Chains A and B, each alone.
Chain A
């Protein structure tokens, strides 16, 4: 391994020994990363489970088995009154899925708040994720350095943290009739309840795509080292 790559390019040589003890990811980042990962997996599995009970999507305020869907996912349903092209019904797992979905949502939201507060406080977003204007060159895109992120990675992480997760929370909250009674704008601004549900699905699928690419990139660029960096902090 090229030891020189262990240090940021502008690092004075004298700082090298001290730098060795600074973890690749801070403790806050490592802990919140794994809680979020667990919560996301729980949300994903239970979300799919809930979706199966009505795999039809609509636009606007209302929609049900008697109205025309915007689109329908070609899978069987766990409920017998949903029109699908299949002549059988899947096992219904909505009960625990719903309990776990909302519990995992709380875990994700509370963890996200801690991460965001710590990130703003420590300058994590500014230092590690905000791309510097000098980095916008093609060379840096090809640069796979375990000690830092290239601009494409930075923009992707910022989008996931500040766009996709907040949108998932917003579109999810908009599906709560009680929350909507207190904050009607949460759902009316999304063109209605069924639109909010459809958007919740698309945002979740975007997060799923990010998740798949994220896992693939970790696997392709040294799975053990990257896992170690996110677990113990050492590269």
Chain B
């Protein structure tokens, strides 16, 4: 072995060792700063973790783009709506006056809100775009109660790291981390454009998460649970999406 190839072998060996040490240190930091998504296992884990970690660092407090009123889409597209069961139809028949939103888990006082209760909390409106993973989009004005107000009213406790949300459709539940849960644009939406939120668009209550793709904005919300871990929910992957093959974090 001549000098050049020995030097080469040493350098590449050192570089490889540094690389592995770097990855180990990065993984440790990522765990410490909670930059690892719940669906980080499996072959797509590295990509998902890189995306989630990079975007959490980059977007910690950034606001989703808002648009002028003139850009509101004349033909918003409702997409598929979950099958509405008998219980939903009964609630709809009475104008959703008996609709309840339960808030439990890591909160000081578990509460249940009617739609009228929600409307008495501070109201926020935003003109944001719904972005579907398929590629299409539309802009609407969304009016509702910021999720943070509801969490404050229930007294969210410091150990809470995620808010899990459930809909009337048992197969459609999801969760967001506190960065999105406490974000001012994350909105329990009960009105859209000029009227109440129509059923095809998620009425009477939809959680809008405008910094993520449309599938995180679950329709027909009935329950919120604050949790310190997602392990106990479903298969422990954070939401129904990864169980169906889709990423938990959808900020892409």
Is the Cβ of A182 less than 8 Å from the Cβ of B252?
A: no
User: Is B58's CB under 8 angstroms from A182's CB?
Assistant: yes
Does B77 interact with chain A (Cβ within 8 Å)? yes
A25: Cβ under 8 A from any B Cβ: no
Q: Which residues of B contact A (CB under 8 A)?
A: 44, 46-48, 50-51, 55, 58-59, 62-65, 67, 71, 73, 75-77, 79-80, 129, 131-139, 210-213, 244-247, 251-252
CB pair B47–A103 under 8 Å, yes or no, is yes
Residues on the B chain within 8 Å of A197, using CB: 135
Q: Taking A61-B137, A177-B212, A179-B251 as contacts, is the C-beta distance between A103 and B59 under 8 angstroms?
A: no
19 A-B interface contacts by CB (under 8 A): A54-B134, A64-B132, A64-B136, A66-B75, A81-B79, A82-B134, A98-B252, A99-B44, A102-B48, A102-B252, A106-B51, A178-B58, A178-B211, A178-B252, A179-B252, A181-B62, A181-B63, A181-B65, A193-B131
Closest to A180 in B: B65
A178-B59, A179-B58 known, 12 other contacts, Cβ within 8 Å: A51-B135, A61-B129, A62-B129, A64-B137, A81-B80, A103-B47, A106-B50, A107-B47, A177-B129, A179-B59, A180-B65, A197-B135
**Inter-chain contacts of A65 with B (CB < 8 A):** 77, 136
Q: Which of A56, A81, A102, A181 contacts B211 (CB 8 A)?
A: A181
Q: How far is the CA of A105 from the CA of B133 in the complex (A)?
A: 17
Q: Is the CB of A94 within 8 A of B133?
A: yes
Chain A min CB distance to B143 (Å): 19
- Which residues on B sit within 8 Å (CB–CB) of A54? 132, 134-136
Q: A61-B129, A99-B247 are in contact. Are A181 and B59 (CB under 8 A)?
A: yes
Chain B contacts of A64 at CB under 8 A?
A: 73, 75-77, 132, 136-138
- Separation in Å of the A234 CB from the closest CB of chain B? 16
Give the chain B neighbours of A36 by CB distance below 8 A.
none
| Residue of B with least CB distance to A57 | B135
> B65, B136, B244 — which one has the most chain A CB atoms within 10 A of its CB?
B136
| A47 CB to nearest chain B CB (Å) | 11
Residues from 66 to 84 in A contacting B, C-beta threshold 8 Å:
66-67, 79, 81-82
Chain B, interface SS category: loop
Say whether A91 faces chain B, with CB atoms less than 8 Å apart: no
Query: Pick the contact of A53 from B46, B134, B137 — CB < 8 Å?
Result: B134
Q: How far is the CB of A173 from chain B (nearest CB, A)?
A: 9
The residues of B that contact A193 with a CB separation of less than 8 Å are 129, 131, 137
User: Is there an interface contact between A95 and B135, defined as CB atoms closer than 8 Å?
Assistant: no
Q: Is A194 an interface residue (CB 8 A)?
A: yes
Closest Cβ neighbor of A69 among chain B residues: B136
Q: Chain B residues with Cβ under 8 A from A105's Cβ?
A: 47
The answer to whether A50 has its CB under 8 Å from any CB of chain B is: yes
Is chain A's interface secondary structure helix, strand, loop, or mixed overall? Answer: helix
Kindly list chain A residues whose C-beta atoms are within 8 Å of the C-beta of B67.
61
> How many inter-chain residue pairs (CB < 8 Å) link A and B?
130
Contact digits for A169-188, partner B, Cβ 8 Å, 1 yes 0 no:
00000011111111110011
Of B58, B136, B244, the residue contacting A95 (CB under 8 A) is B244
Q: Is there contact, CB below 8 Å, between B133 and A98? A: yes
CB contacts (< 8 Å) of A104 on chain B: these are: 47
A96 interface hit (Cβ, 8 Å): yes
Q: Does A98 lie within 8 Å of B247, measured CB to CB? A: yes
Which of A54, A65, A103 has the largest count of B CB atoms less than 10 A from its CB? A103
Chain B residue nearest to A100 (CB atoms) is: B44
**Contact assessment for B64 and A181 in the assembled complex, using a CB-CB cutoff below 8 Å:** yes
**In the bound complex, do residue B48 and residue A63 qualify as a contact, i.e. CB atoms below 8 Å apart?**
no
- Measured CB to CB, the nearest residue on chain B to A93 is B245
A194 contact set on B, CB distance < 8 A:
137
A74 → chain B closest CB, angstroms:
17
Q: Please tell me if the beta carbons of A184 and B135 are within 8 angstroms of each other in the complex.
A: no
Partner of A175, one of B47, B212, B252: B252
CB distance from B177 to the nearest CB of A (A): 12
Quick check: B75 and A67 within 8 Å, CB to CB? yes
Query: A58 — which chain B residues lie within 8 A by C-beta?
Result: 136
A61 to B44, CA, bound (A): 30
In the complex, the answer to whether B131 meets A177 with C-beta atoms within 8 Å is yes
